[in-house]
Amino acid sequence: VPSLPTPDLVAALAAIVGAEHAIVDPDIVGSYVTDWTGRFHGDALAVVRPHTVGEVAEVVRWCAAHGVAITTQGGNTSLVAGAVPQQSVVLLTRGLNDVGPLDPDAGQITVGAGVTLAAVHAAVAGSGWEFGVDLGARDTATIGGMVATNAGGIRVVRHGTMRANLIGSEAVLGTGDVISHLGGLAKDNTGYELGALLCGSEGTLGIVTAVRLRLVRSFAERVVALVGVANVAEAVALAGHLRRTVDSLDALEVMVAPAMAVVAEHLATSAPFADAGAVLLVEAAADHDPTETLAAALNGREAIVATDRAGRARLWRYRESQTEAIGRRGVPHKLDVSVPLAATAAFVDDVMALGREHSAEVFVFGHLGDGNLHVNLLGPAPDDERLDELVLRLVASRGGSISAEHGIGRAKRQWLHLNRSPAELDAFRRVKAALDPAGILNPGVLLPD
Ligand code: FAD
Ligand code: 2HG
Ligand code: ZN
């Protein structure tokens, strides 16, 4: 692999995508080599912006033939440094931005991989359908990146992750071959589900160029409630009760007290439920106002409730501003984990104790309905991973996953063995070798060396 863009590389990319989309200006290239948190930095040979699947395939074929690595980048909102290049060409997918049309009877839409999540929501708004996946980075994260990471977000408790909402896909494999399955049949058992394999593959098997999304019916009425509880154990118990009794449950999030305090400070407001050990954010959505159903399930607990759009958004700010609030305070180490619900309360206690022992600030929040906690550590230097290691080993020892939704990226691949057996890792490598025989797609991401 060349360490500088060679004239051959530049000329080849320019011939495929046009000179204005084959970028080697160091100032522009330099703006694509750092991750969203500012913790991880890389370097790139060039940036290439294809606008069609054909252009993507030609770029991949040229790079495979010449041993040049490609790092695919959508919105670069990865929280595990998955889109940070290392001596590679950054392939930007944002030019793959076709949208629609929406099939109103099937409840499906085909979109380009570079379309942002917010643009998908906007495209289906008012149709009676919605896209069932939503997350805080919606204005920047792309659909291709979300497939590649099998993104989760705030509606998984009702609609599942990207994998459950993907009905077909088109992608360019590491060979340059195009696989396309966008027909949108709800039932189609004709062999391997390659789209599902691409979900969570983090750009290591193929570059997703377009997807066919399954939509869910939209609901006219929504209610959001913030509920303070004494501690995480009570939060887990209440979450279970809500999942059993509220059929319109749409989101079930948690903020443990220090995380709530930091976001309240960031929003220049006081934390609701000042004495609470944790706060739940609950949303229900139905055809008829679900407030009474939710109130009955909360059974007299004190709650702050909003049904109008602005009021709901005000309550969501306590949850959705967590990432920004912590990022303003320092460069975080992000550990996105899931533990069995029964182990959640003890896990949080243990993580807090580890933080105290290592003089680190620990902020815990996340998608409690899915057993997914975001552990953010502030204090350790960007390259000091001792505390990360202790937390991830604790997760694994309690039967949890070291990555619930953000993926492995560059940040966690040294710990993948905590969750995956040698036989599984061997199977991963054989799949990789079959679909990307030259090993040019996202080397250094997901798979350990
Ligand atoms: P990138 O960051 O550009 O890339 C992510 C990975 O996918 C990389 O490995 C990249 O190489 C690969 N990739 C990108 N596009 C393609 C493609 N077309 N084909 C193949 N590989 C590709 N994540 C959640 O799951 N749930 C959340 O609730 C959530 N909330 C977030 C909130 C904030 C404020 C932020 C900053 C991030 C959040 N994330 C969340 C993480 C992030 O938004 C998701 O991982 C998202 O799926 C990344 O999309 P992206 O387009 O930015 O991908
Ligand atoms: C969220 O759920 C995101 O808000 C980001 O997944 C989590 O910042 C984080 O750690
Ligand atoms: Zn999350």
Binned at pLDDT 50, 70 and 90, residue 107 comes out as very high
Q: Which amino acid is at 166?
A: L
Beta bridge pairs of residue 253: 281
Residue 445 C-alpha to ligand 1 middle, in angstroms?
13
Please state, in angstroms and as integers, the Cα–Cα distance from residue 430 to each residue in 71, 72, 446, following that order.
20, 21, 14
Protein residue with its CA nearest to atom 15 in ligand 1: 145
Residue 299, CA distances (Å) to 33, 189, 242, 281, 293 in order: 51, 45, 11, 16, 10
Average pLDDT over residues 162-171: 98
From 72, 154, 442, 446, give the residue whose CB has the most ligand 1 atoms within 8 Å, as the site to mutate.
72
- Ligand 1 touching residue 369 (CB < 6 A): no
pLDDT at 3: 62
- Token digits of residue 266: 């960031």
Q: Does the C-beta of 338 come closer than 6 Å to ligand 2?
A: no
Nearest residue to 50 (alpha-carbon basis) of 178, 158, 150, 148:
178
d(CA 340, CA 47): 42
Q: Summarize the confidence of residues 180-205 as an average pLDDT.
A: 97
* Ligand 1 contact, 161 CB (< 6 A): no
* Ligand 2 within 6 A of CB of 334: yes
CB 36 less than 6 A from any atom of ligand 1: yes
Question: 278-291, pLDDT tens digit by residue?
Answer: 999 999 999 999 99
DSSP structure class, residue 165: G
pTM: 0.97
Separation of CA 335 and ligand 3 centre (Å): 10
Task: Place 6 in a pLDDT band, splitting at 50, 70 and 90.
Answer: confident
Q: Which of 79, 97, 324, 413 to mutate to test the pocket of ligand 1 (most atoms within 8 A of CB)?
A: 79
SS3 call for 21: helix
* Residues 153/405, Cβ–Cβ less than 8 Å: yes
Is 1's pLDDT higher than 50? no
Pocket of ligand 1 contains residue 74 by CB under 6 Å? yes
Please state the atom number of ligand 1 nearest to the C-alpha of residue 209. Answer: 18
Residue 326 Cα: closest atom of ligand 2? 8
Query: Strand 221-229's sheet: what is its strand order?
Result: 303-306, 221-229, 278-286, 249-256, 361-367, 372-378, 333-338
Q: Which pLDDT tens digit goes with each residue over 219-273?
A: 999 999 999 999 999 999 999 999 999 999 999 999 999 999 999 999 999 989 9
What's the CA-to-centroid distance between 166 and ligand 1, angstroms? 16
